[in-house]
Structure 1
Amino acid sequence: TARDVSNKLMEWFGEPLRGWDISRDAPYFGFEIPGHTGKFFYVWVDAPIGYMASLKNWCDRRRESFDNWWNDPGTEIYHFIGKDIVRFHCLFWPAMLRCGGFKGPDQVFVHGFLTVNGEKMSKSKGTFISARTYLDHLPPLYLRFYYACKLNGTTDDIDLNLDDFAGRVNSDLVGKITNLASRGAQMLHKNLEGRAGTMDDEGRALYAAACARSETIAGHYERRDFSQVMVAVRELAESANRYFDAHAPWALVKQDPEAARRVLTSLLNCFRVLAIYLKPILPGYTAQVEQLFGEAPYTWADTATPYENRTLNPYTYLATRVDPKQVLAMVEASRPATPAAAVPASAPAAPVKPEIDIDTFGRMDLRVARVVAAELVEGAEKLLRLQLDIGEVRPRQVFAGIRKAYDPAALVGRQVVMVANLAPRKMRFGVSEGMVLAAGNPDGGLFVVSPDAGALPGATVK
């Protein structure tokens, strides 16, 4: 627990012992006290019990013992809270658990408040940004990365400065970290059949230095000091980029291909270690790295196993730069809606196509699909290459003409609707195994059709 939180708790312990009113009179939300009509449990009595109820529900569904989880001395229980509810989570709740014979939390991690552009969130300024609005414009990867750069295990407030957000993602995540994989993997495939060799002496020393930071970085995670994790990863990425630039494999490959292979192998091994270090913060990003290297899901110990004399899978974009226009669009979408009268009721209607009967419509198989990967298609101005999960053994590849409307990274993780029984179409860039539904405005705007939250990949659209 942070030092300032501990100090505040000790102040409270120094005060006289007082009673705690755990009931509230109607009207009140929550649970009515049995046998006492019009009396309700105070929210800070019943709300924390919801944590236990969630675990109990999970255990019941899996036929496991709640007590063997919650009260097992080997189980670690962590709470993550805001600094305005320390009194309830660090005084009242542990006391209730102790009196009830239940294990208390091992640690309580207390966060400060979030400001946007140095101020409290404001709807009028477009800085009261909902999770849904953010996800409509940018992938969660970027926000997870940025918050990790800021969170330091204290109760200090953190600021989401939108200019700094775009700059740090572009500079560090894309320009320093992802750039290692982008340059290394693409050059290896373009010039050396995509096959890694062995590391050279300098590269092996660089890889060893990255592996040697394992315990230190794990310690940062244990203390939830995520910002120090990011500092260490950034430093290692900078060292790997300096190594790459110094050896200039783009020129070396013309004179000594095997020497260039050793340099690229060293670079990719260093990147792989960084991806493993980032997995607790960016699990989706690291999952894509696992696919790139053709490996099973990483564990922390995998940093010690070098990747040599193996063939890399073709590179797909792991992260793309944040376009300032995306941030501006997100802010505008977060402002209060303009009066309905000022907005046209609908777009000019296009002529309705000829009528079909219900049997004809029924032959179309529409499915909910989750976008597991999205990338630009080289040589195609309108297309994105999508990998869509509809619950089958493998994702389907679909080419969609939505490149001008969507950043590929912002689509990953979203759900769309696809025509699943459309005959495969062989294109210049590969085979398209379906079609994504999108609405088109008269002005050329495109909007993919998405189901409401809760629909599962593969669900039939009826």
Structure 2
Amino acid sequence: MKRLLVTAALPYANGHLHIGHLVEYTQTDIFVRAWRMCGRDVAYICADDTHGTAIMMRARQEGRSEEAVIAEMSEAHQRDFAAFQIEFDHYGSTHSPENQRFAGEIWKAFRDRGLIHSEKVRQFFDPVEKIFLADRFVKGTCPVCNSPDQYGDNCDKCGSTYDAIALKDPKSTLSGATPVLGEAEHHLVSIEPERPWLTEWTQVDGRMPKEIANYLMGFFLDKPLLDWDVSRPAPYFGFPIPDAPGHFFYVWFDAPIGYIASTEQWTKKTNRKFDDYWRSNDTEIVHVIGKDIVKFHTLFWPVMLKVSGFTLPSRVQVHGFLTVNGEKMSKSKGTFVLGSKYLEHLDPAYLRYYYASKLGPKVDDIDL
């Protein structure tokens, strides 16, 4: 039986865990325990996702360093995970020397293949915070279905994807100001040359839930793939791009590389061979993710792995959201529950049992 490497999506280091986050980590923990009971060699790897504008802005507002913020959040996340009996073999951070080294290696692989180019990109600029805004820092009305309060990359009501500048009535989530259009140089990776292979890879039976494979085919792989913007201009908290002074890797470039870097940290402390996990056909890799980050894990990430010679995942398991009366948890509506608040009142075993009862292969929301 092949070794099994299981990862859960990396929680962002800007906030505490809520009970919606715990759906994924709990169900994955149960999956790992089940395989171990069968005698399989399993590693369960995770880490904090630590880079990006949100971390930088929080550190600025609190008058401390980004490193201080992410160190505090790592401690809080690991404390909550332990309280809910979620046991990782290793819990790392994307802000590590290992992650920076692997990011540089993958970047060089793209550069060597001639897949990187730079161009001027139009994007929103926050006139109050004096910073260019990533798509997740702009909210407005969906240009397709007119649903309000949608992020600048996709609509969670109709499923459409779009450029942030297409939003109606856009607002910066950092300051609340109406952003203005600006222009900055960005570095982009061409993934269209890999579309024939990517189409074949995503459509393999069992690779991912069928509805996700169909979604990719219907919304992305049926036409030329757009170039992927993988850089951000200063100021930005992240790793500087080695051959592009003043530019940093976009958080979604180095975040999934955290799976690789954290695995290397684990293999070093357990005297195992790293190549047995990320450069071997004798290891099965399973990523467990939420449906909101499918595009990154099933289009961009596989290309990153293939181009740089790493083992590809055999399965990308996708789950739905935890909702309340059919809607996302909301602080304003009083339906947002932190994991730490739950622990003040109830036994974590109750929640683990409830989430275990909802385990299944489909991408269904769990509605409370």
TM-score band by shorter chain is 0.3 to 0.5
Give TM-score scaled by structure 2 length.
Answer: 0.41
Give TM-score scaled by structure 1 length.
Answer: 0.33
Larger radius of gyration: 1
**Structure with the bigger percentage of helix:** 1
